[in-house]
Amino acid sequence: MPANKRDPDPPGLSQVQFLTVAEVATMMRVSKMTVYRLVHSGELPAVRVGKSFRVPEKAVHDYLQNAYFDAG
């Protein structure tokens, strides 16, 4: 293996797709305030970047997956 060739980065933060609060709200069809409440309560994990939050896309999908319940 040539000395200048790097191994690909292991799966980690470089593979994570982050969404803004507005994008999450649009995806979930709720208000931004609802997303902020979910983030502040800890139900939806997020990373703080400056004064704003970024939510991992997988966290949104996981939240929605776990939110399903059988109403019938």
Domain boundaries, the chain: 17-67
**In terms of residues, how long is the chain?**
72
pTM over 0.85: no
**Cα–Cα distance for residue pair 36/31, rounded to 1 Å:** 9
pLDDT single digits (tens) 7-61: 565 566 678 899 999 999 999 999 999 999 999 999 999 999 999 999 999 999 9
pLDDT value at residue 8: 60
As beta bridge partners, residue 20 has: 54
Q: Which fold has domain 17-67?
A: Arc Repressor Mutant, subunit A (1.10.10)
Work out whether the CA dihedral 24, 39, 33, 69 comes out positive or negative: positive
pLDDT of residue 68: 85
On the CB side of 13, how many CA atoms lie within 13 Å of its CA? 4
